[in-house]
Every structure is written in C-alpha cells, then in structure tokens.
C-alpha cells in the first residue's frame, strides 16, 4: 500500500503540538508514512495507540501468521501483544480477523512470551 493512514482516512493531522511526547511525535510521523512501509515496529506503535485499526490490523495479522513472535523495538511477540490489546468491540465487528488472531494465539508457544503478554494471549484464547 502506497497510501498513508492520513490519505486512507482522509484525516490529515498536520504537525504534532510543540509539547507532544516522543510517542505522539512518532504516531504523527507514522500516520504520514505509506502503510506498506511501516514494518513491525510501525504497526506495533500505531495499533498500540488504537490508530488505523481497520487498515493496520489485517496487515499485522499477515505478519503474525508468518511469525507469531514478530518483534518491533521491544521484545519477541510485542506485535502480538499490541494486537491482542485491541478493544473487544473491534473484534466483535471483525469475526474473520478475530478467528485469524485466535489461530495465531493458539499456535504460539506461551513459554516464549513475556509474562504480561502470556496472560493476554491466554485470555484471548478463551
């Protein structure tokens, strides 16, 4: 995908406020980047901030189906951690994607995840 989230959503945010945190400055920049170039870390950050879920969750699921422990800048499985934290209301409206995530969650070895992510993935399995 060559379009950015701003282009896809038709919502240009402009420049971040002068007092924006590093995280928010990053989110502003990632929203202007072509979606196809985001990589695992970009997906993790934006999904973690609940931005562009309609566009980005399917891309993250593609990545997770290839590698359930896909790693951004933090730890193996950090993308999976971001995706399982997507609000329940999103999954209610996206049953096919929820089934894909359930497949990833069931296939991953919980012992390979950090403690917090292990609990969230185990909860999502139920």
Percent above pLDDT 70 for the chain = 100
- In degrees rounded to 5, what are phi and psi of residue 4? -85, 170
Distance CA 15, CA 82 (A): 25
**pTM assigned to the model:** 0.92
Residue 114 in this model has a pLDDT that exceeds 80: yes
Instruction: Please provide the average confidence, as pLDDT, over all residues in the chain.
Output: 93
Quick one: tokens of 56? 């980005």
Question: What mean pLDDT is predicted for residues 15-36?
Answer: 95
User: Could you list the residue range(s) of the whole structural domain that residue 74 is in?
Assistant: 5-125
Distance CA 7, CA 20 (A): 22
Question: What mean pLDDT is predicted for residues 57-73?
Answer: 94
Which of these, 65, 47, 64, lies nearest to 56 by C-alpha position? 47
Looking at the structure of the chain, the number of domains it has is 1
Distance CA 89, CA 106 (A): 21
């Amino acid at each position: 995908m060559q379009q950015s989230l701003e282009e896809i959503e038709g919502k240009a945010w402009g420049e971040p406020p002068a007092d924006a945190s590093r995280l928010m400055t990053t989110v502003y920049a990632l929203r202007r980047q072509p979606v196809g170039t985001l990589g695992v870390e970009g997906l993790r950050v934006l999904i973690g901030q609940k931005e562009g879920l309609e566009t980005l969750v399917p891309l993250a699921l593609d990545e997770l189906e290839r590698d359930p422990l896909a790693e951004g800048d933090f730890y193996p499985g950090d993308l999976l951690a971001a995706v399982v934290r997507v609000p329940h209301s999103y999954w209610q409206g996206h049953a096919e994607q929820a089934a894909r995530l359930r497949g990833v969650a069931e296939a991953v070895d919980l012992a390979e995840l950090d403690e917090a992510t292990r609990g969230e993935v185990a909860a999502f399995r139920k």
